[in-house]
Amino acid sequence: EPEVTQTPSHQVTQMGQEVILRCVPISNHLYFYWYRQILGQKVEFLVSFYNNEISEKSEIFDDQFSVERPDGSNFTLKIRSTKLEDSAMYFCASVRGDNQPQHFGDGTRLSIL
Amino acid sequence: QQQVKQSPQSLIVQKGGISIINCAYENTAFDYFPWYQQFPGKGPALLIAIRPDVSEKKEGRFTISFNKSAKQFSLHIMDSQPGDSATYFCAASKMGGNQFYFGTGTSLTVIP
């Protein structure tokens, strides 16, 4: 069964540094998402992406965040200048179409020192 | 603003028992309600989902009950097994919408 893959599984970065989290969504999916989950807490929506542009974003997704689909397969989340509070699990998800189930990757654990 | 409220926060059930997790929502525009199961170190995985045109959906030991008038839906796990021990999240989305709104999660422990 096709799955969403995320790399790296764990990223350790110094505060203030830029970090790029990578995702390969399922190939025939059209909608792409980033979520984050602070340890022990709920899954929080960051951003959705469709047709090569952001379609919706949350208050968390400020100017420090950006997303890109540089080619036909990768979907990336960039955090320009990381803060301690950015430490969390970041999940990528993709959906084939409207009101279809979201398929999640296994996440990248981001640790900011 | 909490779009989807989930309870309880944690649940301990004996093996063979019934686990029940409840969610409530406010936005009547929501029309897709999935439940996700998450094991430690893994991403949420879709367990079962329902649309508001039916009041119940059953898949194996998992059943969603949906009450549109009360804006509530619940997950029932019959004959709970230790392997069901995980965190369960309810979620909701609306037609044509992009965002899934997640509940706060329920940590289920099934004891042998």
Average pLDDT, integer, range B1-15: 92
**How many structural domains are present in chain B?**
1
In this structure, the dihedral spanned by the alpha carbons of residues B31, B32, B33 and B34, taken in order and rounded to 10 degrees, is 180
pLDDT at B30 over 70: yes
Q: How far is B104 from chain A (nearest CA, A)?
A: 5
In a domain, B106, yes or no: no
Which run of H or E residues covers position B40? none
> In this predicted structure, what is the pLDDT of residue A16?
96
In a domain, B17, yes or no: yes
In a domain, B112, yes or no: no
Which CATH number is B75's domain given? 2.60.40.10
> In this predicted structure, what is the pLDDT of residue A63?
95
What percent of chain A shows pLDDT beyond 90? Answer: 73
A residues 79-98 lying closer than 8 A (beta carbon) to B: 91, 93, 98
Chain A residue numbers with beta carbons less than 8 Å from the beta carbon of B34 are 101-102
Domain definitions of chain A by residue range: 5-112
More confident residue, A40 or A78: A78
Average pLDDT, integer, range B62-66: 96
Confidence of residue B97 (pLDDT cuts 50, 70, 90): low
> In this predicted structure, what is the pLDDT of residue B105?
94
> In this predicted structure, what is the pLDDT of residue A40?
79
Confidence of residue B95 (pLDDT cuts 50, 70, 90): low
- Chain length of chain A: 113
Query: Which CATH superfamily, name and number, covers A5-112?
Result: Immunoglobulins (2.60.40.10)
pLDDT at B98 over 80: no
**Which DSSP string corresponds to B55-91?**
SEEEETTEEEEEETTTTEEEEEESS--GGG-EEEEEE
Preferred mutation among A102, A103, A108, A109 to probe B, highest tally of B CBs within 10 A: A102
> In this predicted structure, what is the pLDDT of residue A101?
79
Confidence of residue A15 (pLDDT cuts 50, 70, 90): very high
> In this predicted structure, what is the pLDDT of residue B85?
97
- Test A56 with B103 for CB contact under 8 angstroms: no
Cβ-contact A19, A34 below 8 angstroms? no
In a domain, B102, yes or no: no
* A45, A101, A106 ranked by CB distance to B34: nearest: A101
Cβ-contact B106, B87 below 8 angstroms? yes
Separation CA A107–CA A11 (nearest Å):
11
Residue found by looking up tokens 């960039």 in the block? A78
Average pLDDT, integer, range A42-64: 92
- Test A102 with B102 for CB contact under 8 angstroms: no
> In this predicted structure, what is the pLDDT of residue B99?
78
pLDDT at A96 over 90: no
pLDDT at B2 over 80: no
Contact partners, residue B19, CB within 8 Å, separation at least 6: B11, B13, B75, B76, B77, B80, B84, B108, B110
A residues 12-31 lying closer than 8 A (beta carbon) to B: 31
- Test B105 with A104 for CB contact under 8 angstroms: no
pLDDT digits (tens, 9 = 90+) for B65-90: 999 999 999 999 999 999 999 999 99
